[in-house]
């Protein structure tokens, strides 16, 4: 046998040619078009879980809901506080708390219905009386000026002075007096200005406009600053707002002309007294109630 010895360069070239030929001889697959219908999309994980069962329980009604819309009851609105509810309904807010068995007066709910007339009182008869326009009656001031009457009133802290009699819980018209001596800056305007704005200097005296009992003294009613509310009888309340200093406390009995606060600018842009008279909770024009100056 005759052996041929190829040069190493030629041998390498031959091997490479054989490899390329082998690769080129492999068949190539034609592209396949998949004509099967597309698979349905996989459901989301959340959707694959069973829906939570719908509760068959009826939502628990709010306290007093059965009385909604009835005379003598009040439905709590957003932003209400017990102090505002008392003012709007002509009642001591503490009485409303007691009549409704409320444990925490800071926890009331929108939609809750509260009794705002005393138990045993026919609320329909109270509502039927309405808020009639008061009779305008010119009553001259007593010879003694209001300031002098205030100075003569017994001090609440005096142990030797006799306590003033509590106001009578009747519907008669109180004997009104002006709560401050300054000029009127703005008058009553139905739906907009709920009372009189009376000018003065910081520290000027603010007097009770009639005999009554203090049902609120504090700053818990937005927009009124340091506020005093006096209940005069079952019909009338008065409010004295924006004070610098309060000189009375809740449940204290006061007399007409007694100094109850000092004028200021709390929750206001200037020193002034905002004075309201409310008849069954509805603001009325103090200028028609107060005596001429």
Identify the pLDDT of residue 172: 81
Give CA–CA dist 215/196, Å, rounded.
21
3-state secondary structure of 127: helix
3-state secondary structure of 195: coil
Q: Would you mind telling me the total number of residues written for the chain in this entry?
A: 293
Q: What is the pLDDT along the chain (293 residues), one digit of tens a residue?
A: 555 555 555 555 554 555 555 555 444 444 444 445 554 444 444 444 555 666 556 677 788 888 898 999 999 999 999 999 999 999 999 999 999 999 999 999 999 999 999 998 876 665 544 444 333 333 333 333 333 333 333 333 333 334 444 455 556 899 999 999 999 999 999 888 999 999 999 999 999 999 999 999 999 999 999 999 999 999 999 999 999 999 999 999 999 999 999 999 999 999 999 999 999 999 999 999 999 98
Q: Where in the chain is the domain with CATH 2.70.70.10?
A: 146-152+165-288
Identify the pLDDT of residue 120: 83
Q: Where in the chain is the domain with CATH 3.10.350.10?
A: 65-129
Residue 260 makes CB contacts below 8 A (sequence gap 6+) with: 206, 207, 208, 214, 228, 230, 240, 246, 247, 248, 254
Identify the pLDDT of residue 52: 61
Identify the pLDDT of residue 158: 34
147 backbone φψ class: left, alpha, beta (φ>0; ψ -120 to 50): alpha
Identify the pLDDT of residue 61: 78
Identify the pLDDT of residue 293: 87
Identify the pLDDT of residue 264: 98
Query: Where do we find the tokens 């078009």?
Result: 33
pLDDT digit string (tens) for 59-107? 777 888 888 989 999 999 999 999 999 999 999 999 999 999 999 999 9
Neighbours of 26 (CB within 10 A): 6
Identify the pLDDT of residue 190: 87
CATH architecture classification, 65-129? Roll (3.10)
| Candidates 3.40.50.2300, 2.70.70.10, 3.30.70.870, 2.40.30.10; CATH matching 146-152+165-288 | 2.70.70.10
Identify the pLDDT of residue 62: 84
């Amino acid at each position: 046998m005759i052996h041929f010895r190829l040069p190493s360069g030629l041998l390498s070239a031959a091997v490479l040619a054989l490899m390329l030929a082998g690769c080129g001889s492999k068949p190539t697959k034609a592209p396949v078009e998949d004509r099967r219908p597309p698979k349905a999309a996989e459901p989301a994980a959340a959707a694959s879980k069973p829906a939570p069962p719908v509760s068959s329980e009826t939502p628990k009604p709010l306290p007093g809901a059965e009385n909604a819309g009835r005379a003598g009851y009040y439905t709590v609105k957003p932003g209400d506080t017990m102090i505002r509810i008392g003012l709007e309904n002509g009642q001591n807010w503490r009485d409303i708390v007691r009549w409704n068995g409320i444990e925490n007066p800071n926890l009331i709910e929108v939609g809750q219905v509260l009794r705002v007339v005393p138990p045993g009182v026919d609320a329909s008869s109270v509502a039927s009386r309405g808020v009639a326009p008061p009779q305008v009656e010119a009553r001259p001031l007593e010879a003694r000026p209001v300031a002098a009457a205030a100075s003569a009133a017994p001090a609440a802290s005096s142990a030797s002075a006799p306590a003033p009699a509590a106001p009578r819980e009747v519907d008669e018209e109180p004997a009104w007096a002006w709560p401050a001596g300054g000029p009127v800056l703005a008058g009553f305007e139905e739906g907009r200005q709920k009372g009189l704005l009376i000018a003065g200097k910081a520290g000027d005296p603010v007097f009770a406009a009639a005999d009554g009992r203090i049902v609120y003294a504090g700053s818990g009613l937005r927009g009124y600053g340091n506020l005093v509310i006096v209940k005069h009888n079952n019909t009338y309340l008065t409010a004295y707002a924006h004070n610098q200093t309060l000189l009375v406390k809740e449940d204290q009995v006061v007399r007409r002309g007694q100094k109850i606060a000092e004028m200021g600018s709390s929750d206001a842009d200037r020193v002034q007294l905002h004075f309201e008279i409310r008849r069954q909770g509805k603001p009325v024009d103090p200028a028609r109630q107060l005596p001429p100056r």
